[in-house]
């Protein structure tokens, strides 16, 4: 297990064996969990480990992000909402009702 993985809270990875997580093979899962559940120190470690460009590219390619997380990264890194795959997917989906 890498030093980077040791910095993360194992609770975020309830559905996988935390001791077997590989930071290269599970990059997408790690980025998704840390940006949605992590704290500022974990976010910093994430960006330090993978680099800003790779983290942003992965965030934009995720199939789902909650609106709060998506808006945070959009504002923080000046990314238009239309760059997020999940935003485009949501807009193209037919809404049967609104609540």
Domain locations along the chain? 3-83
The lowest-confidence range among 16-25, 67-76, 87-96 is: 87-96
Is residue 7 a contact partner of residue 15, using CB atoms and an 8 Å limit? Answer: no
pLDDT at 68 (0 to 100) = 93
DSSP secondary structure, 52-70, as one string:
HHHHHHHHHH-S---HHHH
Band the pLDDT of 33: cuts 50, 70, 90: very high
Total residues found in the chain within this entry: 99
Which tokens is 1 given? 């297990």
Band the pLDDT of 99: cuts 50, 70, 90: low
Q: 48 Cβ partners below 8 Å, 6+ apart?
A: none
Sole residue written with tokens 């975020």: 12
**pLDDT: which is higher, 90 or 7:** 7
pLDDT at 29 (0 to 100) = 96
């Amino acid at each position: 297990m890498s030093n980077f993985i040791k910095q993360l809270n194992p609770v975020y990875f309830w559905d996988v064996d935390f001791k077997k997580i590989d930071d290269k093979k599970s990059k997408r899962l790690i980025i998704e969990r840390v940006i949605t559940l992590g704290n500022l120190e974990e976010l910093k470690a994430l960006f330090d480990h993978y680099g800003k460009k790779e983290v942003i590219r992965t965030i934009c390619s995720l199939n789902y992000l909650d609106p709060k997380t998506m808006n945070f990264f959009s504002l923080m890194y000046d990314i238009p909402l239309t760059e997020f795959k999940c935003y485009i997917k949501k807009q193209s989906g037919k809404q049967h009702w609104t609540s």
